[in-house]
A and B are shown apart, each in its own frame.
Chain A
Amino acid sequence: MADDSRAFGIEIITPDRIFHKGEATMIEFNTAAGEIGVYKNHIPLTTVLAPGVVTIHKDGEDKMIAAVHSGFAEILPDKVTLLAEVAEWPDEIDVERAQAAKARAEERLANKTEAIDVQRAELALRRALVRIDVAK
Protein backbone atom coordinates (compact mmCIF):
# COMPACT_ATOMS: atom_id res chain seq x y z
CA MET A 1 0.00 0.00 0.00
CA ALA A 2 1.45 3.29 -1.09
CA ASP A 3 1.72 6.04 1.45
CA ASP A 4 -0.53 8.39 -0.45
CA SER A 5 -3.40 5.93 -0.23
CA ARG A 6 -6.39 7.34 1.54
CA ALA A 7 -7.33 4.00 3.05
CA PHE A 8 -6.74 3.05 6.66
CA GLY A 9 -7.54 0.02 8.73
CA ILE A 10 -10.73 -0.27 10.69
CA GLU A 11 -11.74 -2.88 13.20
CA ILE A 12 -15.03 -3.22 15.01
CA ILE A 13 -14.82 -5.69 17.88
CA THR A 14 -17.68 -6.90 20.05
CA PRO A 15 -17.43 -9.33 22.98
CA ASP A 16 -18.79 -12.15 20.83
CA ARG A 17 -16.85 -11.73 17.62
CA ILE A 18 -14.72 -9.54 15.43
CA PHE A 19 -17.63 -7.72 13.88
CA HIS A 20 -15.80 -6.15 10.98
CA LYS A 21 -12.20 -5.87 9.89
CA GLY A 22 -11.12 -4.11 6.75
CA GLU A 23 -10.10 -0.88 5.16
CA ALA A 24 -11.96 2.33 4.63
CA THR A 25 -11.38 5.86 3.39
CA MET A 26 -13.68 7.39 5.94
CA ILE A 27 -15.65 6.25 8.94
CA GLU A 28 -18.45 8.18 10.63
CA PHE A 29 -19.88 7.47 14.04
CA ASN A 30 -21.56 8.95 17.07
CA THR A 31 -19.57 9.82 20.15
CA ALA A 32 -20.65 11.14 23.50
CA ALA A 33 -19.61 14.59 22.29
CA GLY A 34 -21.36 14.40 18.93
CA GLU A 35 -20.96 12.90 15.50
CA ILE A 36 -17.52 12.65 14.02
CA GLY A 37 -16.05 11.54 10.72
CA VAL A 38 -12.53 10.22 10.61
CA TYR A 39 -10.13 10.28 7.68
CA LYS A 40 -6.65 8.88 7.54
CA ASN A 41 -4.01 10.56 9.71
CA HIS A 42 -6.42 11.69 12.36
CA ILE A 43 -4.74 12.70 15.60
CA PRO A 44 -4.68 9.88 18.19
CA LEU A 45 -7.93 10.06 20.10
CA THR A 46 -9.84 7.81 22.44
CA THR A 47 -13.48 8.65 22.76
CA VAL A 48 -16.65 7.17 24.18
CA LEU A 49 -19.29 5.95 21.74
CA ALA A 50 -22.93 6.90 21.91
CA PRO A 51 -25.63 4.68 20.38
CA GLY A 52 -25.65 5.52 16.73
CA VAL A 53 -25.07 4.59 13.14
CA VAL A 54 -21.59 3.75 11.95
CA THR A 55 -20.99 4.48 8.31
CA ILE A 56 -17.95 3.01 6.61
CA HIS A 57 -16.95 4.60 3.32
CA LYS A 58 -14.75 2.64 0.95
CA ASP A 59 -13.15 3.62 -2.32
CA GLY A 60 -15.25 2.55 -5.27
CA GLU A 61 -17.61 0.50 -3.14
CA ASP A 62 -20.95 1.08 -1.54
CA LYS A 63 -20.80 2.44 1.96
CA MET A 64 -21.59 0.04 4.76
CA ILE A 65 -23.75 0.92 7.72
CA ALA A 66 -24.20 -0.74 11.06
CA ALA A 67 -25.80 0.01 14.41
CA VAL A 68 -23.44 0.33 17.35
CA HIS A 69 -24.48 0.76 20.97
CA SER A 70 -22.10 1.89 23.68
CA GLY A 71 -18.42 1.23 23.81
CA PHE A 72 -15.44 3.31 22.84
CA ALA A 73 -13.28 4.13 19.88
CA GLU A 74 -9.55 4.28 19.63
CA ILE A 75 -8.35 6.38 16.73
CA LEU A 76 -4.75 6.18 15.53
CA PRO A 77 -3.40 7.81 12.36
CA ASP A 78 -3.59 4.60 10.34
CA LYS A 79 -6.12 2.60 12.29
CA VAL A 80 -9.50 3.00 13.96
CA THR A 81 -10.69 0.43 16.47
CA LEU A 82 -14.23 0.46 17.79
CA LEU A 83 -14.80 -1.62 20.90
CA ALA A 84 -18.55 -1.93 20.97
CA GLU A 85 -20.68 -3.86 23.41
CA VAL A 86 -23.28 -4.45 20.73
CA ALA A 87 -22.96 -4.06 16.97
CA GLU A 88 -25.42 -5.14 14.31
CA TRP A 89 -25.66 -5.09 10.52
CA PRO A 90 -28.97 -3.90 9.09
CA ASP A 91 -30.06 -7.43 8.14
CA GLU A 92 -29.49 -8.69 11.69
CA ILE A 93 -31.90 -6.24 13.24
CA ASP A 94 -35.33 -7.38 14.25
CA VAL A 95 -37.35 -4.29 13.29
CA GLU A 96 -40.51 -5.43 15.02
CA ARG A 97 -38.66 -5.91 18.27
CA ALA A 98 -37.06 -2.50 17.92
CA GLN A 99 -40.47 -0.92 17.26
CA ALA A 100 -41.86 -2.61 20.34
CA ALA A 101 -38.91 -1.44 22.40
CA LYS A 102 -39.41 2.07 21.09
CA ALA A 103 -43.08 2.08 22.04
CA ARG A 104 -42.28 0.71 25.46
CA ALA A 105 -39.59 3.28 26.14
CA GLU A 106 -41.79 6.12 24.92
CA GLU A 107 -44.60 5.00 27.12
CA ARG A 108 -42.31 4.88 30.12
CA LEU A 109 -41.02 8.34 29.42
CA ALA A 110 -44.52 9.70 28.86
CA ASN A 111 -45.88 8.73 32.26
CA LYS A 112 -42.85 9.26 34.41
CA THR A 113 -43.07 7.93 37.91
CA GLU A 114 -40.50 7.77 40.64
CA ALA A 115 -40.04 4.08 40.10
CA ILE A 116 -38.61 4.19 36.61
CA ASP A 117 -35.12 4.92 35.63
CA VAL A 118 -35.46 7.81 33.20
CA GLN A 119 -31.91 7.55 32.01
CA ARG A 120 -32.30 3.90 31.21
CA ALA A 121 -35.56 4.43 29.35
CA GLU A 122 -33.98 7.21 27.32
CA LEU A 123 -31.07 5.00 26.41
CA ALA A 124 -33.43 2.20 25.42
CA LEU A 125 -35.35 4.62 23.25
CA ARG A 126 -32.19 5.80 21.56
CA ARG A 127 -31.07 2.26 20.90
CA ALA A 128 -34.43 1.39 19.40
CA LEU A 129 -34.37 4.49 17.18
CA VAL A 130 -30.88 3.68 15.95
CA ARG A 131 -31.91 0.14 15.12
CA ILE A 132 -34.95 1.29 13.19
CA ASP A 133 -32.85 3.88 11.44
CA VAL A 134 -30.21 1.42 10.33
CA ALA A 135 -32.65 -1.25 9.27
CA LYS A 136 -34.42 1.10 6.87
Chain B
Amino acid sequence: MASMRDIKRRKSSIQSTQQITKAMKLVSTVKLQKARTRAEQTTPYTNHMYQTVSSMLAKSGNVNHPYLVSGESTKKAVVAITSNRGLAGGYNSNIVKLVANSDLPKEDVEIYAIGNKGLDAFTRKGFNVKYTDSELIESPSYSDAAALCREVLKDYTNGEIGEIYLAYTHFKNTVVHEPTLIKLLPVEIDAAEITKSEGATAQMIYEPNEEEALDLIIPKYVTSLFYGALVEAVASENGARMQAMDSATSNAEDIISDLTLKYNRARQGAITQELTEIIAGASAIS
Protein backbone atom coordinates (compact mmCIF):
# COMPACT_ATOMS: atom_id res chain seq x y z
CA MET B 1 0.00 0.00 0.00
CA ALA B 2 1.27 3.43 -0.96
CA SER B 3 2.36 5.59 1.91
CA MET B 4 0.27 8.50 3.12
CA ARG B 5 2.83 10.99 1.88
CA ASP B 6 2.88 9.54 -1.65
CA ILE B 7 -0.89 9.64 -1.90
CA LYS B 8 -0.99 13.20 -0.65
CA ARG B 9 1.61 14.32 -3.15
CA ARG B 10 -0.23 12.65 -6.03
CA LYS B 11 -3.51 14.22 -4.96
CA SER B 12 -2.17 17.74 -4.83
CA SER B 13 -0.56 17.33 -8.25
CA ILE B 14 -3.87 16.23 -9.73
CA GLN B 15 -5.63 19.10 -8.03
CA SER B 16 -3.38 21.62 -9.68
CA THR B 17 -3.89 19.94 -13.05
CA GLN B 18 -7.61 20.15 -12.47
CA GLN B 19 -7.34 23.87 -11.83
CA ILE B 20 -5.58 24.30 -15.15
CA THR B 21 -8.13 22.30 -17.13
CA LYS B 22 -10.93 24.19 -15.42
CA ALA B 23 -9.41 27.52 -16.40
CA MET B 24 -8.85 26.31 -19.96
CA LYS B 25 -12.45 25.24 -20.16
CA LEU B 26 -13.63 28.67 -19.09
CA VAL B 27 -11.38 30.34 -21.64
CA SER B 28 -12.59 28.17 -24.49
CA THR B 29 -16.22 28.67 -23.44
CA VAL B 30 -15.82 32.40 -23.85
CA LYS B 31 -13.97 31.98 -27.13
CA LEU B 32 -16.58 29.56 -28.36
CA GLN B 33 -19.34 32.06 -27.76
CA LYS B 34 -17.55 34.67 -29.80
CA ALA B 35 -16.67 32.25 -32.57
CA ARG B 36 -20.19 30.88 -32.71
CA THR B 37 -21.73 34.31 -33.18
CA ARG B 38 -19.33 34.94 -36.02
CA ALA B 39 -20.10 31.60 -37.60
CA GLU B 40 -23.81 32.32 -37.42
CA GLN B 41 -23.36 35.72 -39.03
CA THR B 42 -21.50 34.20 -41.92
CA THR B 43 -24.10 31.57 -42.72
CA PRO B 44 -26.57 33.80 -44.65
CA TYR B 45 -23.83 34.96 -47.00
CA THR B 46 -22.47 31.48 -47.64
CA ASN B 47 -25.94 30.01 -48.12
CA HIS B 48 -26.99 32.69 -50.52
CA MET B 49 -23.78 32.34 -52.44
CA TYR B 50 -24.31 28.61 -52.75
CA GLN B 51 -27.89 29.09 -53.95
CA THR B 52 -26.90 31.63 -56.55
CA VAL B 53 -24.05 29.57 -57.89
CA SER B 54 -26.15 26.41 -58.04
CA SER B 55 -28.96 28.17 -59.88
CA MET B 56 -26.46 29.72 -62.26
CA LEU B 57 -24.96 26.35 -62.99
CA ALA B 58 -28.39 24.81 -63.36
CA LYS B 59 -28.96 27.24 -66.17
CA SER B 60 -25.57 27.16 -67.77
CA GLY B 61 -24.86 23.49 -67.15
CA ASN B 62 -23.25 22.89 -70.50
CA VAL B 63 -20.87 25.80 -70.49
CA ASN B 64 -17.35 24.58 -71.06
CA HIS B 65 -15.73 26.72 -68.42
CA PRO B 66 -12.39 25.88 -66.76
CA TYR B 67 -14.01 26.07 -63.34
CA LEU B 68 -16.57 23.45 -64.30
CA VAL B 69 -14.40 20.74 -65.83
CA SER B 70 -11.50 18.90 -64.23
CA GLY B 71 -8.07 20.15 -65.14
CA GLU B 72 -5.62 17.86 -66.90
CA SER B 73 -3.51 17.43 -63.81
CA THR B 74 -4.34 14.44 -61.62
CA LYS B 75 -3.11 16.30 -58.55
CA LYS B 76 -5.75 17.04 -56.00
CA ALA B 77 -5.44 19.98 -53.66
CA VAL B 78 -6.81 19.49 -50.18
CA VAL B 79 -7.16 22.59 -48.05
CA ALA B 80 -7.07 21.15 -44.53
CA ILE B 81 -8.11 23.40 -41.69
CA THR B 82 -6.83 22.43 -38.25
CA SER B 83 -5.77 24.36 -35.17
CA ASN B 84 -2.46 25.72 -33.95
CA ARG B 85 -2.87 24.39 -30.46
CA GLY B 86 -3.61 20.94 -29.13
CA LEU B 87 -5.63 19.75 -26.16
CA ALA B 88 -8.79 19.81 -28.19
CA GLY B 89 -9.69 16.13 -28.05
CA GLY B 90 -9.92 14.49 -31.44
CA TYR B 91 -10.41 17.77 -33.28
CA ASN B 92 -7.15 17.75 -35.24
CA SER B 93 -6.64 14.02 -35.63
CA ASN B 94 -10.17 13.66 -37.00
CA ILE B 95 -9.34 15.96 -39.91
CA VAL B 96 -6.08 14.15 -40.59
CA LYS B 97 -7.83 10.79 -40.44
CA LEU B 98 -10.59 12.01 -42.72
CA VAL B 99 -8.12 13.00 -45.41
CA ALA B 100 -5.90 9.94 -44.95
CA ASN B 101 -8.83 7.54 -45.13
CA SER B 102 -10.55 9.24 -48.06
CA ASP B 103 -10.57 7.81 -51.58
CA LEU B 104 -7.96 10.31 -52.71
CA PRO B 105 -4.72 8.52 -53.58
CA LYS B 106 -2.01 9.74 -51.22
CA GLU B 107 0.58 10.45 -53.88
CA ASP B 108 -1.79 12.71 -55.78
CA VAL B 109 -2.77 14.81 -52.81
CA GLU B 110 -1.25 18.25 -52.32
CA ILE B 111 -1.99 19.56 -48.86
CA TYR B 112 -2.64 23.23 -48.25
CA ALA B 113 -2.28 23.17 -44.50
CA ILE B 114 -3.94 25.77 -42.33
CA GLY B 115 -2.96 25.22 -38.70
CA ASN B 116 0.28 23.87 -37.22
CA LYS B 117 -1.21 20.65 -35.87
CA GLY B 118 -2.43 19.57 -39.25
CA LEU B 119 0.82 20.59 -40.88
CA ASP B 120 2.83 18.42 -38.45
CA ALA B 121 0.52 15.44 -38.73
CA PHE B 122 0.39 15.50 -42.54
CA THR B 123 4.15 15.85 -42.82
CA ARG B 124 4.62 12.94 -40.43
CA LYS B 125 2.27 10.79 -42.45
CA GLY B 126 4.26 11.53 -45.58
CA PHE B 127 1.79 13.75 -47.39
CA ASN B 128 3.03 16.34 -49.80
CA VAL B 129 2.48 19.75 -48.23
CA LYS B 130 2.45 22.43 -50.89
CA TYR B 131 1.46 25.50 -48.98
CA THR B 132 0.98 26.46 -45.39
CA ASP B 133 -0.39 29.42 -43.53
CA SER B 134 -0.96 28.84 -39.86
CA GLU B 135 -1.45 32.43 -38.78
CA LEU B 136 -4.68 32.45 -40.70
CA ILE B 137 -6.62 30.43 -38.17
CA GLU B 138 -5.88 32.77 -35.25
CA SER B 139 -8.48 35.30 -36.32
CA PRO B 140 -9.77 34.58 -39.81
CA SER B 141 -10.90 37.58 -41.81
CA TYR B 142 -12.52 37.68 -45.20
CA SER B 143 -9.42 39.16 -46.79
CA ASP B 144 -7.35 36.26 -45.41
CA ALA B 145 -9.76 33.84 -47.03
CA ALA B 146 -9.51 35.81 -50.27
CA ALA B 147 -5.71 35.58 -50.18
CA LEU B 148 -5.87 31.84 -49.63
CA CYS B 149 -8.36 31.54 -52.45
CA ARG B 150 -6.09 33.48 -54.82
CA GLU B 151 -3.22 31.17 -53.92
CA VAL B 152 -5.21 28.00 -54.58
CA LEU B 153 -6.93 29.27 -57.71
CA LYS B 154 -3.59 30.37 -59.13
CA ASP B 155 -2.34 26.80 -58.96
CA TYR B 156 -5.62 25.59 -60.39
CA THR B 157 -5.54 27.89 -63.40
CA ASN B 158 -1.83 27.14 -63.93
CA GLY B 159 -2.80 23.51 -64.27
CA GLU B 160 -0.70 22.40 -61.31
CA ILE B 161 -3.72 20.94 -59.63
CA GLY B 162 -6.83 19.47 -61.19
CA GLU B 163 -9.27 19.42 -58.33
CA ILE B 164 -9.74 21.34 -55.12
CA TYR B 165 -11.08 19.82 -51.92
CA LEU B 166 -11.71 21.38 -48.56
CA ALA B 167 -11.41 19.51 -45.25
CA TYR B 168 -12.75 21.32 -42.21
CA THR B 169 -14.81 20.69 -39.12
CA HIS B 170 -18.43 21.62 -39.59
CA PHE B 171 -19.90 23.27 -36.52
CA LYS B 172 -23.34 21.77 -36.06
CA ASN B 173 -23.90 22.88 -32.51
CA THR B 174 -21.91 23.24 -29.31
CA VAL B 175 -21.49 19.50 -28.82
CA VAL B 176 -21.58 18.14 -32.37
CA HIS B 177 -18.75 18.95 -34.77
CA GLU B 178 -18.43 16.98 -37.96
CA PRO B 179 -15.19 16.62 -39.87
CA THR B 180 -16.21 17.30 -43.48
CA LEU B 181 -14.47 16.83 -46.80
CA ILE B 182 -16.08 18.60 -49.75
CA LYS B 183 -15.13 19.11 -53.35
CA LEU B 184 -14.92 22.77 -54.33
CA LEU B 185 -13.71 22.76 -57.91
CA PRO B 186 -14.72 21.75 -60.45
CA VAL B 187 -18.08 22.70 -59.07
CA GLU B 188 -20.48 19.81 -58.68
CA ILE B 189 -23.99 20.68 -57.74
CA ASP B 190 -26.22 17.74 -57.04
CA ALA B 191 -29.15 17.14 -59.33
CA ALA B 192 -31.81 17.55 -56.65
CA GLU B 193 -30.71 21.12 -55.94
CA ILE B 194 -30.84 21.93 -59.60
CA THR B 195 -34.40 20.84 -60.20
CA LYS B 196 -35.50 22.56 -57.02
CA SER B 197 -34.10 25.92 -57.98
CA GLU B 198 -34.89 25.68 -61.64
CA GLY B 199 -38.46 26.97 -61.44
CA ALA B 200 -37.61 30.20 -59.68
CA THR B 201 -34.64 31.16 -61.79
CA ALA B 202 -35.55 29.93 -65.23
CA GLN B 203 -36.03 33.51 -66.36
CA MET B 204 -32.82 34.83 -64.85
CA ILE B 205 -30.67 36.99 -67.09
CA TYR B 206 -26.96 37.35 -66.46
CA GLU B 207 -25.02 40.49 -67.04
CA PRO B 208 -22.31 40.36 -68.34
CA ASN B 209 -22.95 37.03 -70.05
CA GLU B 210 -22.96 33.78 -68.11
CA GLU B 211 -19.37 32.83 -68.78
CA GLU B 212 -17.98 36.15 -67.65
CA ALA B 213 -20.27 36.16 -64.67
CA LEU B 214 -19.00 32.69 -63.76
CA ASP B 215 -15.46 33.95 -64.07
CA LEU B 216 -16.16 36.58 -61.46
CA ILE B 217 -18.53 34.73 -59.22
CA ILE B 218 -16.76 31.37 -58.83
CA PRO B 219 -13.70 32.88 -57.07
CA LYS B 220 -16.07 34.70 -54.73
CA TYR B 221 -17.92 31.46 -54.19
CA VAL B 222 -14.72 29.64 -53.29
CA THR B 223 -13.61 32.49 -51.05
CA SER B 224 -16.91 32.52 -49.23
CA LEU B 225 -16.71 28.78 -48.67
CA PHE B 226 -13.16 29.14 -47.36
CA TYR B 227 -14.22 31.93 -45.07
CA GLY B 228 -17.25 30.01 -43.84
CA ALA B 229 -15.09 26.94 -43.23
CA LEU B 230 -12.44 28.94 -41.34
CA VAL B 231 -14.99 30.57 -39.10
CA GLU B 232 -16.77 27.29 -38.43
CA ALA B 233 -13.47 25.53 -37.78
CA VAL B 234 -12.57 28.10 -35.13
CA ALA B 235 -15.94 27.59 -33.45
CA SER B 236 -15.52 23.80 -33.63
CA GLU B 237 -12.00 23.99 -32.25
CA ASN B 238 -13.14 25.88 -29.19
CA GLY B 239 -16.16 23.63 -28.81
CA ALA B 240 -13.94 20.55 -28.98
CA ARG B 241 -11.48 22.02 -26.51
CA MET B 242 -14.27 22.96 -24.15
CA GLN B 243 -15.57 19.39 -24.20
CA ALA B 244 -12.10 17.90 -23.81
CA MET B 245 -11.31 20.15 -20.87
CA ASP B 246 -14.70 19.49 -19.31
CA SER B 247 -14.14 15.75 -19.33
CA ALA B 248 -10.55 16.23 -18.12
CA THR B 249 -11.85 18.23 -15.18
CA SER B 250 -14.43 15.62 -14.27
CA ASN B 251 -11.87 12.82 -14.64
CA ALA B 252 -9.59 14.69 -12.26
CA GLU B 253 -12.51 14.97 -9.88
CA ASP B 254 -12.95 11.17 -9.99
CA ILE B 255 -9.29 10.49 -9.35
CA ILE B 256 -9.21 12.99 -6.49
CA SER B 257 -12.14 11.36 -4.72
CA ASP B 258 -10.55 7.96 -5.25
CA LEU B 259 -7.28 9.20 -3.79
CA THR B 260 -9.01 10.86 -0.86
CA LEU B 261 -10.57 7.51 0.01
CA LYS B 262 -7.21 5.76 -0.24
CA TYR B 263 -5.55 8.46 1.84
CA ASN B 264 -8.12 8.16 4.62
CA ARG B 265 -7.77 4.39 4.59
CA ALA B 266 -3.99 4.65 4.83
CA ARG B 267 -4.31 7.15 7.68
CA GLN B 268 -6.69 4.88 9.57
CA GLY B 269 -4.38 1.90 8.95
CA ALA B 270 -1.46 3.84 10.40
CA ILE B 271 -3.45 4.80 13.51
CA THR B 272 -4.64 1.23 14.04
CA GLN B 273 -1.13 -0.06 13.67
CA GLU B 274 0.21 2.42 16.22
CA LEU B 275 -2.55 1.50 18.67
CA THR B 276 -1.87 -2.22 18.29
CA GLU B 277 1.80 -1.59 18.92
CA ILE B 278 1.11 0.39 22.11
CA ILE B 279 -1.34 -2.19 23.42
CA ALA B 280 1.01 -5.02 22.62
CA GLY B 281 3.87 -3.18 24.34
CA ALA B 282 1.74 -2.47 27.44
CA SER B 283 0.57 -6.06 27.75
CA ALA B 284 4.15 -7.30 27.43
CA ILE B 285 5.18 -5.20 30.46
CA SER B 286 2.34 -6.18 32.79
Chain A interfacial positions (CB closer than 8 Å to B): 13-18, 31-33, 43-48, 70-72, 74, 76, 81, 83, 85-86
- When chains A and B are docked, how far (Å) is the Cα of A15 from the Cα of B207? 23
Asked if residues A85 and B142 are in contact (CB atoms below 8 Å), the reply is yes
Interface size, chain B (Cβ < 8 Å)? 29
Asked if residues B45 and A48 are in contact (CB atoms below 8 Å), the reply is no
A44-B207 in contact given A17-B41, A72-B217, A72-B220 (Cβ < 8 Å): no
- Total number of A-B contacts with CB less than 8 angstroms? 72
Asked if residues B204 and A14 are in contact (CB atoms below 8 Å), the reply is no
Option from A43, A81, A85 in Cβ contact (under 8 Å) with B205: A43
Which residues of chain A have C-beta atoms less than 8 A from B227's C-beta?
15
B182 to chain A: closest CB distance in Å?
Answer: 18
Asked if residues B41 and A16 are in contact (CB atoms below 8 Å), the reply is yes
Which residues of chain B have C-beta atoms less than 8 A from A86's C-beta?
142
Which residues of chain A have C-beta atoms less than 8 A from B281's C-beta?
none
- When chains A and B are docked, how far (Å) is the Cα of A69 from the Cα of B205? 22
Closest 10 CB pairs of A and B: A47-B207, A44-B204, A15-B142, A44-B203, A13-B45, A45-B205, A17-B41, A15-B45, A48-B216, A46-B206
Asked if residues B44 and A18 are in contact (CB atoms below 8 Å), the reply is yes
Which residues of chain B have C-beta atoms less than 8 A from A72's C-beta?
52, 213, 216-217, 220
Which residues of chain A have C-beta atoms less than 8 A from B208's C-beta?
32-33, 47-48
Asked if residues A46 and B42 are in contact (CB atoms below 8 Å), the reply is no
B205 to chain A: closest CB distance in Å?
Answer: 5
Asked if residues A31 and B207 are in contact (CB atoms below 8 Å), the reply is yes
- When chains A and B are docked, how far (Å) is the Cα of A85 from the Cα of B201? 23
A15-B216 in contact given A33-B207, A72-B52, A83-B48 (Cβ < 8 Å): no
Among residues 189 to 231 in chain B, which have CB atoms less than 8 Å away from a CB atom of chain A? 200-201, 203-208, 212-213, 216-217, 220, 223-224, 227
Task: List 29 A–B pairs whose Cβ atoms lie within 8 Å, in order of A's numbering.
Answer: A13-B45, A15-B45, A15-B142, A15-B224, A16-B41, A18-B44, A32-B216, A33-B207, A43-B203, A44-B201, A44-B204, A45-B204, A45-B206, A45-B207, A46-B204, A46-B206, A47-B206, A47-B208, A47-B213, A48-B207, A48-B212, A48-B213, A72-B52, A72-B216, A74-B52, A83-B48, A83-B52, A85-B142, A85-B146
B24 at the interface (CB under 8 A from A): no
- When chains A and B are docked, how far (Å) is the Cα of A15 from the Cα of B145? 11
Secondary structure dominating the interface of A:
strand
Known: A13-B44, A32-B207, A45-B207. 20 other contacts (CB 8 A): A15-B142, A15-B145, A16-B41, A16-B142, A17-B41, A33-B208, A44-B203, A46-B52, A46-B56, A46-B213, A47-B206, A47-B213, A48-B208, A48-B213, A48-B217, A71-B220, A72-B217, A72-B220, A74-B52, A85-B142
B49 at the interface (CB under 8 A from A): yes
Which residues of chain A have C-beta atoms less than 8 A from B142's C-beta?
15-16, 85-86
Among residues 143 to 186 in chain B, which have CB atoms less than 8 Å away from a CB atom of chain A? 145-146
